[in-house]
Amino acid sequence: MTPLKSLLLSLCLLTLLAACGGDEPTETLPPVTPPDEEEPIIPPGDDEDNANANEADEAHPFATDLSIPHLDAENQYVEHIVSFREQEILNYALEWVEDKRHAAWVAFSFDSETCQKNVNRTNTWMPDPFISSSPQESDHKSDGFDKGHLCASEDRVYNRTANEQTFYYTNISPQMTSFNGGYWVTFEKLLQTWARSGAYEHVYVTKGGTLNHLLTNFTGTQKAADGRLPQTDADGLTNHGLACPAYYFMAILAKQGENYQAIGFLVEHRDDYGYSNDHQAPVELIQAHAINIDELEVQTGLDFFCNLPDKTEAQVEATYEESAWEWKVTE
C-alpha cells in the first residue's frame, strides 16, 4: 500500500468513528445503485426517427416512397409499375375506396427520367386490371361530367406504357368541364413546370379529390360535351354511383440535395370560375389556393409525406414559403 493510500484510509476511519460516536441518530441515506444496475438513459429522438412510416413488402415494394401517404388498411393499395431503361419504376400508386368507387389519392414523383417528354397522349381508356371493381366507360357516359385525370396524362409522358396507365378509370374523377379544362389544368401545368425546371432532383406529388367532402345535391350551370348538366345526389354520387369530390387537392414535396420544401393546394370544385379550354386561369389566381401541408391534412384527413423522418416531416409541413416557388407556367 502506498503512503498516500495509507493516509487516506486513516482519515476515512477517523471520520467514520466521529460520525458514530454521537448520541443523535444519524440520517440513513438511500443505498447507491451500482453502475451496472442503473436505469438506462433514453436518448432524445434521433433525426431519422419515423413513427408513422409505411412498411414495404414483396407485393408493395414502393410503399415507402416519399410520395405515398400513410396507408389505410381498409382501402385497396395498388402500385402501377413500368419497365423503363432496364429498371422497374413506380409510375404511380393509388388507394381505392370501394364504396365510393373513387381513389382516395394518387401518388407519383418526377425525377430526371420520369420528367421527360418522350411520347404523346395515348387516350387508351380502360378499366384498371388490378382492381376488380374498377369503373368502366359506361360509368362515365351521359352524366354531365368530364373524365378528369388525377395523375394527369401530361404528368407521365416519359414512356408509352406509363401514359397508357393514366387512362385507367381508377385514375379518373368526375369533373365539371370548365373546372377540368379551364381551372384545374393551370395547377397541373404549374406542377409540371416545377417538375421539369431542373431546379429539383425530385418532386413528390399526391393528388386527389376530397372523399370526406363530397358535392351533394348539386346541379351545375354548364353542360358537358354530352349535352347534360352535371348532377349529384344527396350522397354526393353521380347518376352512375361515382363519388364526386367537393374539392381537389395537391400535396407537393420538392427535394434538392438535403433540402426539402413543400406546398399544398385545395381547390373548390365549381363550374363558375369563368375559364375554359380556350381561356385557362392565370397562374396569379393559383397562389390564392396555396396552403401548408398541415392544413391540407386537416382538410383531407390524409397523412402526407409520412415516409420522411418525423423531424423533417414536421418542419416542411408546418409552413410554406411562397417566394421559394417560381409562379409562372411554361408547360
Alpha-carbon distance 161 to 81, whole Å?
Answer: 9
Q: In the prediction, which pLDDT does 2 show?
A: 43
* pLDDT of residue 8 exceeding 60: no
Residues that constitute the known binding site? 180
- CATH, residue 298: 3.40.570.10
Q: How far is CA 60 from CA 102, 115, 308, in A?
A: 20, 23, 18
Tens of pLDDT, residue by residue over 108-132, are 999 999 999 999 999 999 999 999 9
Q: DSSP character for 184?
A: I
**Residue 239: domain span:** 76-324
Alpha-carbon distance 46 to 50, whole Å?
Answer: 9
Tell the residue number behind the cell numbers 392565370, with chain if given: 282
Alpha-carbon distance 91 to 168, whole Å?
Answer: 13
Domain membership flag for residue 259: yes
Euclidean distance between the first and the last CA atom of the chain, given in angstroms as a whole number: 87
Domain membership flag for residue 89: yes
Full-model pTM: 0.85
Tens of pLDDT, residue by residue over 33-64, are 443 433 333 334 456 799 999 999 999 999 99
Q: In the prediction, which pLDDT does 27 show?
A: 38
* pLDDT of residue 17 exceeding 60: no
Domain membership flag for residue 53: no
Alpha-carbon distance 81 to 257, whole Å?
Answer: 26
Three-class DSSP category at 269: coil
Pick from 142, 143, 162, 148: which is nearest to 85 by CA?
162
* pLDDT of residue 12 exceeding 60: no
Q: In the prediction, which pLDDT does 331 show?
A: 82
Domain membership flag for residue 57: no
Residue 149 bears catalytic tag: yes
80, 102, 140, 149: which is the annotated catalytic residue?
149
User: Angle, nearest 10°, between helix axes 310-318 and 293-300?
Assistant: 90
Q: In the prediction, which pLDDT does 48 show?
A: 76
Residues that constitute the known binding site for Mg(2+)? 180
Tell the residue number behind the cell numbers 352512375, with chain if given: 240
- Cα angle 7, 29, 39 (rounded to 5 degrees) comes to 100
Tens of pLDDT, residue by residue over 201-251, are 999 999 999 999 999 999 999 999 999 999 999 999 999 999 999 999 999
Alpha-carbon distance 248 to 265, whole Å?
Answer: 8
Q: In the prediction, which pLDDT does 104 show?
A: 99
Q: How far is CA 109 from CA 66, 188, 203, 257, in A?
A: 9, 13, 5, 16
- What is the arithmetic mean of pLDDT over 87-102? 98
Which neighbouring-strand residues pair with 90? 81
Alpha-carbon distance 259 to 316, whole Å?
Answer: 10
Three-class DSSP category at 247: strand
Domain membership flag for residue 18: no
Cβ atoms of residues 321 and 261 within 8 Å:
yes
Domain membership flag for residue 244: yes
Cβ atoms of residues 212 and 102 within 8 Å:
no
Cβ atoms of residues 209 and 150 within 8 Å:
yes
Cβ atoms of residues 162 and 88 within 8 Å:
no
> For the chain, how many structural domains are there in total?
1
The CB density around residue 129, as the number of other CB atoms within 10 Å, is 12
Tens of pLDDT, residue by residue over 262-307, are 999 999 999 999 999 999 999 999 999 999 999 999 999 999 999 9
Domain membership flag for residue 152: yes
Domain membership flag for residue 3: no
